[in-house]
């Protein structure tokens, strides 16, 4: 096993190196970089100065941190320490100061995901028998050189065009070699991007993915809602987030690539925390609207739980406004949001200075391409000695996709859903070598693996929940994903709803 060194590498004052380059939409570059096995794109599609200001593109990592089956690995070599301890120590090896505040906040570091099942690395939860279906619990390539894009370089008026920079850290080299390596990598990355930018767009006429099935029938999902309500009435929990997973086979056509479907997804469901991750034998495509945790260089932390969803009607502005007002006035949705906001406030308090934890926004309406959401904001300032991994450890998984109390809700979720969630309901984002972090809640997220494609949808269940309405809400949330994959809820409804399995009756909690 690898013994983790506690030594921090000293970094030359001149590193990282930064060079501004002509802006090219990173999404256009993806098609010509798609063969890289560790291609990572954090994509602010739904752009705004506050949430969707920056995008980042990286590939050719110098190392990959993975955790699976309770053990952590660096480039295939096992660590002795538990995964989150190993991750914290590995990041410290490459620590660097923050560059100018005028640059995008991510200036080199890890980009990847932490799956929902990684929560088992932090809390004692019942063992499961579906480990064979898992992908990595943690998958975080470390990138020494990145492309960083600021879509609002003037701070928010959108009067100036987007700007882009290559940032090259020189890691994993140290000493005098680091600056030389940083320059060589910057020059190489610039030439790679320039070559990709000159290539014509590649058509991506994707074949539709049809024949979808769920791990629940309609009646089975509604029974799960009733079981959850029973737990609430018994006093076990206040609420829980119950999900179903949709699965299908990817057509065997040359154009049926995960990247092609991602480009459709970002078009149909633009979101501020979208992402595309190539992870070797699997690919993650996300169009999440929800920020999980962000941490800046000063120690300021923020989480933005989403609870409460209503469909949009963009063809009828009057009805669309009625739908949004109904959501704002919904006792059920507001209660759900307030409970999760309180949970996240408590989680932040574990690692933040007590007087710093505040809720500046509670149950604010935010409207996206397909749905309206109720969103709250919780902020805090980390205690001395705390960093991004400690913040993750205190808050993961996010309360909006578990429930309250968190641990008991997760126990019930495992029993009722009887499948791993994988990256769905986990988190995607970056952890910088300078201690900054920005991550999403991986909802509206699709996983491609072994010629199969999966995605999950769900909702928060309270004592006021109506099982039929909760089932329909999951389909509202799935609509944009289905459309991006070439089909629709109505086309797939019969297959999704049918009683095709005995799993619903076999679950010991039903």
pLDDT digits (tens, 9 = 90+) for 302-314: 999 999 888 899 8
Neighbours of 133 (CB within 10 A): 13
**Phi and psi at residue 253, in whole multiples of 5°?**
-125, 150
Residue-wise pLDDT for 329-367, tens only, equals 999 899 999 999 999 999 999 999 989 999 999 999 998
Q: How far is CA 195 from CA 199, 212, 466, 487, in A?
A: 7, 39, 55, 35
The number of distinct structural domains making up the chain is 1
Q: What sign has the CA pseudo-torsion 362, 363, 367, 369?
A: positive
Residues 31-59, mean pLDDT to the nearest whole number: 91
Residues 486-493, mean pLDDT to the nearest whole number = 96
Strands 213-214 and 445-449 come out as unpaired
**Which tokens belong to 499?**
């009683």
The answer to the question of residue 509 being in a domain is no
Q: Does residue 432 lie in a domain region?
A: yes
Is 307 an annotated catalytic residue?
Answer: yes
Q: What is the DSSP letter of 202?
A: P
Q: Which of 444, 89, 36, 41 is nearest to 275 (CA)?
A: 41
Out of 102-106, 157-161, 281-285, 455-459, which region has the weakest mean confidence (pLDDT)? 157-161
How would residue 1 be classed by pLDDT, with cut points 50, 70 and 90? very low
User: How would residue 133 be classed by pLDDT, with cut points 50, 70 and 90?
Assistant: low
pLDDT computed for residue 28 by the predictor: 82
pLDDT for res 505: 45
Q: Which two tokens stand for residue 275?
A: 């992402």
Residues 156-165 as b or e (16 or more Cβ within 10 Å = b): eeeeeebbbb
Per-residue model confidence (pLDDT) at position 500: 52
What average pLDDT does this structure show over 209-223? 97
pLDDT of 41 above 90: yes
354 with 340: CB under 8 angstroms?
A: no
Catalytic residue (choose from 117, 192, 290, 473): 290
**Average pLDDT for residues 231-237, to the nearest whole number?**
97
Task: Examine residue 63 and say whether the peptide bond preceding it is cis (omega within 30 degrees of 0).
Answer: no
At residue 128 the predicted structure's pLDDT band, cuts being 50, 70 and 90, is low
Q: How far apart are CA 98 and CA 432, in angstroms?
A: 9
Compute the 3-state secondary structure of the chain and give helix, strand, coil in percent, each to the nearest 5: 30, 30, 40
First to last CA, the chain: 43
DSSP assignments along 378-428, one per residue = EEEEBPTT--HHHHHHHHPSPGGGTEESHHHHHHHHHHHH-S--TTTTSEE
Q: Is 100 a catalytic residue?
A: no
Instruction: Give domain status of residue 460, yes or no.
Output: yes
- Do residues 407 and 242 lie in contact, with contact meaning Cβ atoms separated by under 8 Å? no
Closest CA to 301 of 225, 186, 378, 371: 378
Mean predicted confidence (pLDDT) in 202-224: 92
At 373-390, the pLDDT tens digits run 999 999 999 999 999 999
In a domain, 507, yes or no: no
Where in the sequence is the domain holding 463, given as residue range(s)? 17-299+387-497
Signed CA dihedral, 382, 386, 388, 392: sign only: negative
Q: Which of 92, 307, 406, 477 is catalytic?
A: 307
**The pLDDT value given to residue 255:** 85
Q: Which of 44-48, 109-113, 491-495 has the highest mean pLDDT?
A: 109-113
Angle, CA of 495, 496 and 499, to the nearest 5°: 80
**Tens digits of residue pLDDT in 256-291:** 899 999 999 999 999 999 999 999 999 999 999 999
- Look up the CATH number of the domain holding residue 443: 3.60.120.10
User: pLDDT > 70: what percent of the chain?
Assistant: 92
pLDDT digits (tens, 9 = 90+) for 396-420: 999 999 999 999 999 999 999 989 9
Please provide the average confidence, as pLDDT, over all residues in the chain.
Answer: 91
**Residues, the chain, total?**
510
Bigger pLDDT: 20 vs 310 = 20
């Amino acid at each position: 096993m690898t013994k983790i060194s506690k030594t921090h590498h000293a970094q030359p004052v001149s590193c990282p190196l930064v060079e501004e380059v002509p802006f090219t939409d990173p999404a256009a570059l993806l098609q010509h970089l798609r063969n890289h096995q560790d291609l990572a794109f954090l994509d602010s599609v739904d752009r705004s100065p506050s949430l969707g200001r920056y995008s980042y593109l990286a590939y050719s990592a110098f190392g990959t941190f993975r955790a699976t089956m309770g053990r952590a690995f660096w480039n295939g070599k096992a660590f002795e320490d538990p995964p989150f301890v190993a991750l914290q120590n590995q990041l410290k090896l490459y620590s660097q100061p923050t560059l100018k505040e005028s640059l995008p906040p991510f200036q080199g570091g890890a980009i990847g995901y932490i799956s929902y099942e990684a929560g088992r690395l932090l809390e004692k939860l019942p063992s499961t028998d579906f480990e064979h279906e898992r992908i990595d619990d943690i998958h975080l390539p470390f990138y020494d050189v990145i492309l960083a894009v600021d879509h609002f370089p003037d701070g928010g008026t959108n009067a100036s065009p987007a700007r882009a920079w290559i940032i090259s850290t020189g890691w994993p080299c140290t000493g005098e070699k680091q600056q030389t390596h940083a320059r060589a990598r910057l020059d190489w990355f610039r030439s790679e991007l320039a070559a990709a930018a000159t290539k014509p767009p590649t058509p991506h006429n994707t074949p539709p993915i049809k024949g979808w099935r769920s791990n629940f029938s309609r009646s089975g999902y509604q029974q799960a809602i009733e079981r959850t309500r029973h737990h609430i009435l018994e006093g076990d929990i206040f609420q829980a987030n119950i999900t179903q997973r949709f699965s299908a086979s990817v057509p065997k056509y040359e154009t049926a690539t995960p990247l092609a479907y991602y480009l459709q997804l970002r078009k149909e469901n633009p979101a501020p925390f979208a992402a595309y991750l190539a992870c070797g034998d699997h690919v993650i495509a996300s169009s999440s609207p929800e920020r999980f945790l962000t941490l800046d260089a000063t120690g300021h932390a923020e989480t933005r739980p989403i609870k409460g969803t209503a469909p949009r009607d963009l063809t009828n502005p009057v009805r669309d406004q009625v739908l949004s007002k109904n959501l704002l006035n919904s006792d059920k949705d507001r209660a759900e949001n307030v409970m999760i906001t309180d949970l996240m406030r408590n989680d932040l308090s574990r690692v933040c200075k007590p007087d710093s934890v505040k809720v500046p926004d509670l149950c604010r309406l935010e409207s996206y391409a397909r749905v309206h959401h109720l969103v709250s904001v919780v902020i805090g300032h980390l205690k001395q000695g705390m960093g991004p991994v400690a913040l993750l450890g205190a808050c993961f998984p996010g309360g909006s996709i578990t429930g309250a109390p968190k641990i008991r809700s997760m126990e019930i979720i495992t029993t009722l859903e009887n499948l791993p969630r994988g990256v769905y309901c986990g988190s995607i984002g970056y952890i910088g070598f300078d201690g900054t972090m920005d991550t999403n809640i991986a909802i509206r997220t699709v996983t491609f693996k072994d010629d199969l494609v999966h995605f999950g949808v769900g909702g928060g269940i309270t004592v006021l929940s109506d099982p039929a309405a909760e089932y329909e809400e999951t389909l509202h949330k799935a609509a944009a994903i289905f459309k991006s994959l070439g089909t629709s809820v109505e086309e797939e409804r019969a297959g999704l709803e049918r009683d095709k399995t005995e799993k619903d009756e076999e679950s010991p909690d039903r």
